Amino acid sequence: MRDWGWLGILMMGIAGGVFAQEAEMTKLPIPQTEGGMPLMQALKQRHSTREFSPQAPPPQVLSDLLWAAAGVNRSATGQRTAPTARDWREIDVYVAMADGTYRFEPDSHALRRVLPRDIRALTGTQDFVAQAPVNLVYVANLDRMRDTTAEHQHLYSATDTGFIAQNVYLYCASAGLATVVRGSIDRETLATALGLGPSQRIILAQSVGYPLVGRR
Ligand SMILES: Cc1cc2nc3c(=O)[nH]c(=O)nc-3n(C[C@H](O)[C@H](O)[C@H](O)COP(=O)(O)O)c2cc1C
């Protein structure tokens, strides 16, 4: 278990030996869900950027980014900022950063560490992905898409990912961050690195960071 230094210690999922192997969890700061840029202005600003400053976003920005992407916006039901077909909530957001690789847990608004190492370079085939401080990887868990056809699993996991990616685009526009959604991924290599199972499919990735000075 770890914290952000200033956040304090939060014990999660540790109940003696039974859960000793449970992955390390990092509670994110409470997301700031007020303010931001007016929506029409954010839509005007939305664009793709492929050059990133190496500066990592601070924990509050990471928290707000992930909440915008797929956080819980109705605590009574656990439903999210992005819609999902039949409320399957099948897209997991993996977060590849310099200090390791995590999976966003919307219900607890926490990061679960899945790998202790930097696999940013494996999240896409373009050179800039290794420098972007945050690479989100959108992974569909087909086991959650019950009572449907394989065709609909493909269709809806792709559309549901699109909503998340657009939420990220709009948050980035509002927060002055740079981003680009990406389909150019060696999915087999990345799935192996992430330790994904047979029911998990990488749909897209999205790089996020600050723009290089003088660029947007
Ligand atoms: C499904 C999808 C896949 C994309 N894949 C890539 C990619 O692999 N690499 C990349 O640099 N941009 C990728 N893009 C970004 C597009 O190139 C970009 O949105 C387009 O050029 C329009 O630019 P704009 O986003 O600034 O409007 C992708 C966009 C979408 C929607």
> Mind listing the pLDDT tens digit for each residue in 28-52?
999 999 999 999 999 999 999 999 9
Residue 23 Cα to ligand 1 midpoint, Å, equals 33
Query: Could you tell me how far CA 18 lies from the centroid of its own chain?
Result: 28
- State both tokens at 212: 């290089």
How remote is the CA of residue 211 from the centroid of ligand 1, in Å? Answer: 17
**Given phi > 0 = left and psi -120 to 50 = alpha, else beta, which region is 35?**
left
Mean pLDDT of 131-148: 98
pLDDT category at 201 given cuts 50, 70, 90 is: very high
Ligand 1 atom with the smallest distance to the CA of 50 is: 11
For the Cβ of 216 lying below 6 angstroms from any atom of ligand 1, the answer is no
Instruction: For residue 90, name the pLDDT band (cuts at 50, 70, 90).
Output: very high
Q: Are 91 and 157 in contact (CB under 8 A)?
A: yes
> What is the per-residue pLDDT for 81?
98
> Can you read off the two tokens belonging to residue 123?
């999240």
Record the pTM: 0.91
Q: How confident is the model at residue 23 (pLDDT cuts 50, 70, 90)?
A: low
Residue 48 in contact with ligand 1 by CB distance below 6 A: yes
